[in-house]
Each structure stands twice: as structure tokens, then as C-alpha cells.
Amino acid sequence: MELIAQEGSFCWMMVIRGFFLTLSGNTWESMWYLYELVGIYLLTPFIKSVVNDVSGKRFVEYGLILGFLFHILFPFTERIFGIYIGIVYQLSCVYLFYYVLGFYLHQYGTCNWRWCAGLLAILECIIILNRVMGLEMEVQYNSPVTAAASAFLFLTFRNLKKGNTGLSAKRNVCFGIYLVHTFFLNVFYKLFHITPLRVGYGGILLFWILAFGLSLAASELMQKIPILRKYIV
């Protein structure tokens, strides 16, 4: 799509060029997560052998403590207070921390989902106020606020009882929505030449509704195709 939009035409060589651009990571910015995910999946057999050990829970807790200190707390104190920690932690990937944290919370996180949702709402209010009031607190992937919000969001949906809400039935479509939502946005931008602000400020909400609705429908459709359901979404 990007090559066609740039050159205004199509030829079959674009398919090959597109493949190599994708392989090298030269694709839509929101797709960065897929490349991180592949690397984490390559580490999964090693991680699995550790967590399945007799002392697996303690190993995981030890790893999470180290991950929180070196990937979140120390970078946060450096940004806010200028205190630099010179120790180098070799497993330097904050996304690995979130990956293992998800496993740990899935196995041992049993707190009430309503409490988690309430705490999540408080943290989201802090994030919004921080942005609106122009405060100096950076909200990045390696921020303590982001880590806490991620944990509470995960626990909220993890502990929902399957018959109590329609949300629990939609958990399987989330990854599919992530995969295709940028496609629909680019259809609006590059095919129809429409951007949200051309419609006015209400266009932002309209684009959100359209992109979400189309992505949800596409993800639901992908769930019905066996090979995509098994290997992709």
C-alpha cells in the first residue's frame, strides 16, 4: 500500500520489495511490536524451562524484581532526579518484563477485578492530568505508572467471570484488531484522502469508531478461518 501510494502505480516487483521492507522492519510504526514479539518468542523455551522448575515461582519473582528495578525504576529515577545507576543488566528488554509479568499475574493474580478496575481508573486519571496540565512526568513503557496500569488492566480482564460480561467473550479478537487497524486508517488517508481534522474535531471520534468497528469485524472474520485462528490471531 505504501509503495503504491508513493509511486501511483502497481507492479509485481513491489510485492518482493514490500516483503524485504517488512523483513527489515521498514513498515508502519505501529507494527514495531511484532518484531519485539518474535524476539521474545525465541526466548520462550528458555523462559519456560526456568518457570517450570521446582522453584519456578521464586525464579519468576526474582526475575520480575530485577526487571522492575533495571527496566523501570532506575530509568525513571534517572529521568526525574538525574540519579544514574551504572550497573548493566544484560537482559535489557522492558517488553520481556511485561511478558513474564503477564504469565505471573495469570498464574497467581487472584485479586477482585472491581478493585483492579478502580485502581486502573485512578492511574488513567493521573496520566490524563499529567498530559493536560503539562507536568513533567513522562509516561513511557518503562514508567512505573505504565507498569502499574498494565498490571491492573490485565488483572481486570483476567479475573472477569466469563458469563458476567460481554467483554470476556471479545478477548480473543484484540490481537487481530491490532494487526489490521492501521490498514483501515491508511485506506482512509491514502485511498480516500480523508484525515480526521478535515471533518473537524468530531472527526477524531468518527475515525476511532470507524477504525475500531472495521477492525473488530475483520478480526472476527479472521477468527472463523481455521489457519488464521490457529497461527495468527
In which domain, by residue range, is 189 found?
Answer: 162-233
Diameter over CA atoms, the chain: 60
- On whether both 139 and 104 belong to a single domain, the answer is yes
- On whether both 134 and 175 belong to a single domain, the answer is no
Q: What's the half-sphere exposure (Cβ side, CA atoms, 13 Å) at 231?
A: 4
- Structure-block grid coordinates of residue 222: 479472521
Residue 216 within any structural domain of the chain: yes
- On whether both 74 and 128 belong to a single domain, the answer is yes
Q: What is the pLDDT of residue 164?
A: 54
- Structure-block grid coordinates of residue 97: 518484563
Query: From CA 110, how far away is CA 126, in angstroms rounded?
Result: 25
Query: From CA 4, how far away is CA 116, in angstroms rounded?
Result: 46
Residue 188 within any structural domain of the chain: yes
Q: What is the count of structural domains for the chain? A: 3
Residue 176 within any structural domain of the chain: yes
The pLDDT of residue 83 is above 60 = yes
The pLDDT of residue 82 is above 80 = yes
- On whether both 104 and 139 belong to a single domain, the answer is yes
Residue 58 within any structural domain of the chain: no
Boundary residue ending a domain (159, 181, 215): 159
Contacts of 180 (CB under 8 A, 6+ apart): 214, 215, 218, 219
Which span out of 82-91, 95-104, 122-131 was modeled with the highest average pLDDT? 95-104
Query: From CA 218, how far away is CA 179, in angstroms rounded?
Result: 10
- Give pLDDT tens digits for 171-220: 788 899 999 999 999 888 888 888 887 777 788 888 899 999 999 999 99
Q: What is the pLDDT of residue 225?
A: 92
Mean per-residue pLDDT over the chain, rounded: 86
Residue 75 within any structural domain of the chain: yes
- Give pLDDT tens digits for 129-177: 887 777 766 778 888 989 999 999 999 888 876 555 566 667 788 899 9
Other Cβ atoms within 10 Å of 146 Cβ, number: 19
Boundary residue ending a domain (159, 192, 221): 159
Confidence of residue 230 (pLDDT cuts 50, 70, 90): confident
- On whether both 120 and 197 belong to a single domain, the answer is no
